[in-house]
Amino acid sequence: MSSKPQMEDELREKIIAQPDFILEDQDLMRALIAANERAMGHNIVDLRGIAMERLEARLDRLEDTHRSVIAAAYDNLAGMNQVHRAILRMLDPVSFETFLRDLGGEVAEILRVDTIKLVLETVQDEHDPTVRRLGSVLSVAEPGYINGYLTDGRSSSPRQVTLRQVSEGDPQVYGDEASYMRSEACLLLDFGPGRLPGMLAMGAEDPHQFTPQQGTDLLAFFAGVFERTMRRWLS
């Protein structure tokens, strides 16, 4: 006797005992539905089959959306942890010079940007000893420069956070590193009444690290903490 009937009986018994194995397998269900349609012939419209195809397409879209939402949530959580770590490191120094040097060092590394520059509007000469001593992180500019830089010379009001891609950075902001910059995040800083504004520029060699389509909530929070910290130093 052939063993084929025994195998068929055994398989049949397994299916009857555990039908969920087939119902939960999308490839098997597609094969069964296709076999049913072939048995019915081409002249019969299977409304149930059409409905199942549409439901399956909707399910696939929902699964894709679900994956996208989870991925975005993980990315947001990772970004939030980065910003929190950077803020804690920024609050450690007990001197202004150390504060600025850490900004361009460990804080930039935590945020995974290639450079961070602090731009201050001032009437002070750029050759002032303090400015020269902190020149690797600190840049000074004439009053009105930051507004023009953030708006590209337009008459509109600058946003608190500006994300954009650039062909290269501005040498007045990035110095010798300007030619390597391909995207940047610019944070407008308010140091309080009677003080000129400032700007924190985060530059990246990756043109896709900062783009206008990205969210700005975490960077706005970082800017808020930074400007409050700067107010204490400036006072």
Task: Please give the Cα distance from 190 to 194 (Å, whole number).
Answer: 10
Q: pLDDT tens, 204-226?
A: 999 999 999 888 999 999 999 99
Residue among 47, 174, 62 at smallest CA distance from 115: 174
- CB distance 219 to 82 below 8 Å: no
Residue among 88, 137, 140, 94 at smallest CA distance from 111: 88
Domain end among 41, 62, 83: 62
Q: What is the pLDDT along the chain (235 residues), one digit of tens a residue?
A: 444 455 577 777 777 787 777 777 777 777 777 766 666 655 555 566 667 777 777 877 888 787 777 776 777 777 888 899 999 999 988 888 888 889 989 999 999 999 999 999 887 655 655 556 666 788 888 999 999 999 987 878 899 999 999 999 999 999 889 999 999 999 999 998 888 999 999 999 999 999 998 889 999 999 999 999 998 888 7
If asked whether residues 93 and 193 sit together in one domain, one would say yes
**Which structural domain, as residue segments, surrounds residue 58?**
4-62
pLDDT for the residue 221: 94
CATH number at residue 183: 3.30.450.40
pLDDT for the residue 134: 62
If asked whether residues 18 and 115 sit together in one domain, one would say no
If asked whether residues 75 and 39 sit together in one domain, one would say no
Residue among 116, 106, 111 at smallest CA distance from 79: 111
Reported residue count of the chain is 235
- CB distance 231 to 189 below 8 Å: no
Per-residue burial over 180-210, b = 16 or more CB atoms within 10 Å of its CB, e = otherwise: ebbbbbbbbbebeeebbbbbbbbbbeeeebb
Per-residue burial over 37-64, b = 16 or more CB atoms within 10 Å of its CB, e = otherwise: eeeeeeeeeeeeeeeeeeeeeeeeeeee
If asked whether residues 108 and 51 sit together in one domain, one would say no
Domain end among 62, 78, 108: 62
Residue in this structure with the two tokens 């409905």, named with its chain if needed: 51
pTM of the predicted model as reported, rounded to 2 decimal places: 0.67
Please list the alpha-helical segments (H only) found in the chain: 4-17, 20-23, 26-40, 47-90, 96-102, 108-111, 129-133, 145-151, 171-174, 217-234
Beta strand pairing call for 183-189 and 115-121: unpaired
Task: Please give the Cα distance from 178 to 169 (Å, whole number).
Answer: 4
pLDDT for the residue 4: 47
If asked whether residues 31 and 86 sit together in one domain, one would say no
If asked whether residues 92 and 208 sit together in one domain, one would say yes
If asked whether residues 58 and 158 sit together in one domain, one would say no
